[in-house]
Amino acid sequence: MPARLDHTIVHSTDRFASARFLTGLLGEPGPGTFGPFATVRVANGVTIDFADSIVGRDRIVLQHLAFLVSEDEFDEIFTRIGERGLPYWGGPHHQEPQRINHRHHGRGVYVDDPDGHAIEFLTHPYVEEE
């Protein structure tokens, strides 16, 4: 059996603020809790577990989280980005400000969470399925 991702931990300055930011964009109920984590459940039972950093924002290693969503979900998420007045980009390094991309036969957009982690939403996987 191939390995399946179960969860990942993302360090933040405020675990609940970061988790609420993500659930808000996804249009999901607020985060759950598990031990010291604010948890966001996504497809296949995977959780994104936000932890308060004990070393401060200047020491948080920025991460990139990419979410594969349907075309309709993308439209809903993109509407929420606009409603919140969030800056967004078509490229992962803040290229193409206030644009979405059309790479890999789909659409994609990047936003930063409250701590600067790159959150990507895309409608088509980068790797072609075999």
CB 31 within 8 A of CB 50: yes
- Residue 67 CA: distances (Å) to CA of 26, 52, 53, 59: 10, 22, 23, 25
Structure token digits, residue 73: 């979900």
Contact between residue 79 and residue 69 where contact means Cβ atoms under 8 Å apart: no
Query: Per the confidence metrics, is the pTM higher than 0.85?
Result: yes
What is the CATH number that goes with domain 7-54+62-122?
Answer: 3.10.180.10
Find out whether 64 and 92 touch, Cβ atoms under 8 Å.
Answer: yes
CB 111 within 8 A of CB 100: no
pLDDT in tens, the chain (130 residues): 689 899 999 999 999 999 999 999 999 999 999 999 999 999 889 999 999 987 766 678 889 999 999 999 999 999 999 999 999 999 999 999 999 999 889 999 999 999 999 999 999 998 765 4
